[in-house]
Amino acid sequence: MKIKFILVLLFFVSYLYGIAQTSDTMMLTLHEVVAMAKSKSIDSKQATTRKETKYWEWKTYKSNYQPQLSLSGNLPGYSKTFREVLQPNGTIEFQPVRYNNSALNLAISQTIAKTGGTVFGTTQMQRFDDFDRHTTLYNGVPYAIGYAQPLWRYNPLNWDKKVEPLKFEESKQVYIESLEEISISACSYFFELLLAQVNLQIAETYLVNTENILRIANVKFDMGKISRNEILQLNLEQVKAQKAVGIAKRDMEISTLNLRSYIGLQSTDKISLSLPEAKINMTVDTARVVAEAYENRSDAIGFIRRITEAKRDVAKAKGENGLNATLTARVGFSKSAQTIGKVYESPLNQQVFQLEFEIPILDWGRSKSRTKTAEAIQQLTEYAVEQDKQNFTQQIYTQVTLFDMMKDQLLLTARADSIASEKYQIAKDRYVLGNLGITDLSIAFQENDQAKQDYIYALRDFWGAYYQLRYLSLYDFERNQKITYQ
C-alpha cells in the first residue's frame, strides 16, 4: 500500500513537472494563426479603417440628394467710418457714419438629380440702425420659393448616381480581399517559422545521432577497426552539427518575432506550430472559379466603374463646351417697415426671372480638343479594361492549375520523405554494424534532411495556393459559400 502511494505521488509530481515545462509554450495551428492575423494585425486594422473611410464617403454622397437646411447672415454688422457724400453743388465731402446693418437668411433647398436643377425656399430679415439719426428700419422676405435650372450643361448629380454606388460596392469587396491577402501573408509567416522549427529539430537530431555514432566509432577505433581519418571526419561532422543547431536557433527566433509581430500576438510565450493537414476536402472547377470571381471580386466591379467614369468624363467635356446657361425663377413677398411685426403685414409680392448665359465666341479649338481628348481616353480605357479582363481570367486559370499540381506534388514529397527517412535509418544501423562508410551515412542524412524540408515546402505551396484561390474568387470552396466579413 505504501509503495502504491509512492508511485501515485511520483506520477502526480511528474505530471505537474510536465505542465510546468509546457505552460510557457503556445501551440498554434495554421487556421488559428490566420484567424489571429485577420483580427489583430496592423494590416487588418488598416483594412477596417479604409472600409470605414469609404463608408463615410458613401454617406457624404447620399447626403447630396437630401434636403439641405442652412442659416446664414451677418450679426452684428456694426460699422463706424467715413463715407463720401455727393453735395448739391457737385462736390464730395466725407461724412462720419455709424450704423448697424444685420441680416439673417434661413434657406432650404433640394437638388433634382435627373435634371441637375435645384428647388429652394427662403425667408430673410434685415435690420438697419442709423446711430447718427437715431432711426431703425427693417426689411424682410417673409417667404420666397424658386427654381434654378442649368441648361445644356454637365450634370454631376446624375453621373454620381451611376459611379458612386459602384465605388461603394467595390470598396466592400476590397475589404474582403484585404483580409484574404492577410491570410496569404499569415500563411507565409507560419511556414517560415514552421520550416525554422523543423530545421532546428533536424539539426538537433543530427547532433544527437552524430554524438552517438562518434562514441561507437571511438570504441571501434580503440579496437583497430576504423582509421584515425574516420574519427576526424566524425569530429568535423559534430562541429558542423553544433553550428547548424546554433544557426537553426537564430533563424527560429527571427521567424518567431516576425510571426508574432505580424499577427499582433502580445503574449511572450514560446510558439510551437502544428503541422497542417496535407489534404483539403474540396473540388475546384475552373469555370466555377471564374464565374465566382467575376461576381465577387472588386476588379469585376472596377471594370464597369472605369468605363462609366470614362463616359462621364466625355459627357463633362461636352457639357462644359459651347453654350452654358442657368435659368432662375423666384416668387415671394417682401416689405420694409420700422418694426418687425409690420414687415409681415400685407407684404408686397416679389418676382425674379433671369437667364444667365455664357457663349464662347473664339476659343481656338480648345473646346473641341477637350472633347476629343476625353473620347480618346475613353477608347483607351475600354482597351485597357479588355486586356485586364483577359489577364484576370488567365490568372485564375493558372492558379487553379497550380492548386491541382500542388496536391500531386504534396503526395510525391510525402512519399519521398518516408523513403528517405527509412533509408537513413537503415544506413545508420549499417554503420553501427560496420557495413557502411561515413561518407554514405552522411549522404543518407543529407537526403533525409532535404526530403523533410521539401515536404514542408510542398505544404507551404499547397496551402499558399489554397489561400490564393480564395483571394482570387472570394469564395470558400470547402463550405460552398461566398466569403463575407461583417
Say if residue 212 is in the same domain as residue 303.
Answer: yes
Domain for residue 456, yes or no? yes
Say if residue 478 is in the same domain as residue 443.
Answer: yes
Residue 177 to residue 175: CA distance in whole angstroms: 5
Q: What is the pLDDT along the chain (486 residues), one digit of tens a residue?
A: 333 333 333 333 333 334 344 457 889 999 999 999 999 999 999 999 999 999 999 999 999 999 999 999 998 888 888 888 888 888 888 888 888 999 999 999 999 988 889 999 999 999 998 888 888 899 988 889 999 999 888 899 999 999 999 999 999 999 999 999 999 999 999 999 999 998 898 888 888 877 877 787 787 777 777 677 877 877 887 888 889 889 989 999 999 999 999 998 887 778 889 888 888 888 888 899 999 999 999 999 999 999 999 999 999 988 887 778 889 998 988 888 888 888 888 888 877 788 777 777 777 778 888 889 999 999 999 999 999 999 999 999 999 988 888 888 878 887 887 887 777 778 777 766 766 666 676 677 777 777 788 888 888 999 999 999 999 999 998 888 999 886
Q: What integer pLDDT is reported at residue 1 of this predicted model?
A: 39
Residue 445 to residue 244: CA distance in whole angstroms: 14
Least Cα distance to 78 among 106, 97, 94 occurs for 97
Domain for residue 457, yes or no? yes
Say if residue 343 is in the same domain as residue 395.
Answer: no
Q: What integer pLDDT is reported at residue 405 of this predicted model?
A: 86
Domain for residue 207, yes or no? yes
CATH of the domain at 379: 1.20.1600.10
Say if residue 34 is in the same domain as residue 173.
Answer: yes
Domain that holds residue 232: 27-61+158-309+371-482
| Number of compact structural domains in the chain | 2
Q: Name the residue with cell 420694409.
A: 336
Say if residue 248 is in the same domain as residue 272.
Answer: yes
Q: Give bridge partners of residue 101 from the DSSP assignment.
A: 128
Q: Counting beta carbons within 10 angstroms of the beta carbon of residue 131, is it exposed (0 to 12), middle (13 to 18) or buried (19 or more)?
A: middle
Say if residue 301 is in the same domain as residue 181.
Answer: yes
Least Cα distance to 172 among 301, 60, 59, 306 occurs for 301
Say if residue 149 is in the same domain as residue 165.
Answer: no
pTM of the entire structure? 0.80
Say if residue 136 is in the same domain as residue 225.
Answer: no
Residue 467 to residue 478: CA distance in whole angstroms: 12
Contact present, 80 and 87 (Cβ < 8 Å): no
Say if residue 287 is in the same domain as residue 389.
Answer: yes
pLDDT in tens, 41-53: 999 999 999 999 9
Residue 46 phi/psi, 5-degree rounding, is -65, -40
